[in-house]
Chains A and B, each alone.
Chain A
Amino acid sequence: DTGVSQDPRHKITKRGQNVTFRCDPISEHNRLYWYRQTLGQGPEFLTYFQNEAQLEKSRLLSDRFSAERPKGSFSTLEIQRTEQGDSAMYLCASSLGAAGNNEQFFGPGTRLTVL
C-alpha cells in the first residue's frame, strides 16, 4: 500500500500519560498535515509541515502538543499529560504542494481514548 499510513491505529491510555503517534506520508509528498476529528464533526486543522519546516499551528494545539517532521519524511505527533478531552481521531494527510491547490490524501487515523 503506497498511501498514507498511521501508527498505531488505536491507542488507549490513562489520563496524565504521554502518547506519540506516527504518520508516514506518500513518499514524494512535501506537505504533511495533522487534523483532529471528534464524533459528529469534520476534521479540525492542527498543524502542517512543508518538508521539515512546521509552517502553521492551530490555536487548538496547546503546549502539551508537539509535532515534528525531522527529515521531511515521516512525522510524529506527541501529546503530553493527556486529558480526557484529548480523546479523538487524529488524522494525517499529505499532498504534493499546497493542500489548497492539490488533493490531500488522508491516512486511516489513530483513535485515541483517554481514560
Chain B
Amino acid sequence: AQSVSQHNHHVILSEAASLELGCNYSYGGTVNLFWYVQYPGQHLQLLLKYFSGDPLVKGIKGFEAEFIKSKFSFNLRKPSVQWSDTAEYFCAVKTSYDKVIFGPGTSLSVIP
C-alpha cells in the first residue's frame, strides 16, 4: 500500500539552527510531492510542491525541499529557523488518480 513516513515526530531547535525534516514515500510510479504546514490555530497550508523538473524546489518563508527519486525521499530544509516556524509539518504525495496521502506529521518547536 502507498504510504508516507516522516522521520521525526517532534523536533526542538534553537533559533538560527538549521532544519532538515525527513520524508519517505512508498510508491514506484510517478509522484507529485508536497509539504504542508499548520501553524498553531491556523489551517493547513501549502509550503512547497514538486511535480517535475529541478528536484530542488523552493517554497515560501525560505523553505526548500529536495526530491531524490532513488531514495524515495523528499526532505524539507531551512538554513536558519525562526521562532515563527514553530508548527506542524506534513509531507504528502499524490500517486494515482487524485488522492493525496499525508504523512503523520512532524511537530517543530523553535526556542527563542
B44 within 8 A of A: yes
If the complex has contacts A42-B92, A106-B43, are A100 and B104 also in contact, measured as CB distance less than 8 A? no
Question: Which of B45, B51, B94, B104 is close to A42, meaning CB atoms less than 8 Å apart?
Answer: B104
Which chain A residues in 88-104 approach chain B with CB under 8 Å?
Answer: 91, 93, 98-101, 103-104
Q: Count contacts between A and B, CB distance < 8 Å.
A: 57
Minimum CB–CB distance for B11 against chain A, Å: 15
Closest Cβ–Cβ distance, residue B91 to chain A (whole Å): 8
- Interface size bucket, A side? 20 to 34
B-facing mask of A31-63, CB < 8 A → 1, else 0?
A: 101010000111111001000000110000000
Q: Decide yes or no whether B102 CB sits under 8 A from chain A.
A: yes
Q: How far is the CA of A48 from the CA of B94 in the complex (A)?
A: 14
Q: How large is the interface on B (under 10, 10 to 19, 20 to 34, 35 or more residues)?
A: 20 to 34
- A interface: dominant SS: loop
C-alpha gap A56/B94 in the complex (Å): 14
Q: Counting CB contacts under 8 A, is B90 at the interface?
A: yes
Q: How far is the CB of A65 from chain B (nearest CB, A)?
A: 17
Contact assessment for A107 and B43 in the assembled complex, using a CB-CB cutoff below 8 Å: yes
Q: A42-B90, A42-B92, A106-B45 are in contact. Are A100 and B102 (CB under 8 A)?
A: no
Given contacts A100-B98, A104-B100, contact A42 B43 (CB under 8 A): no
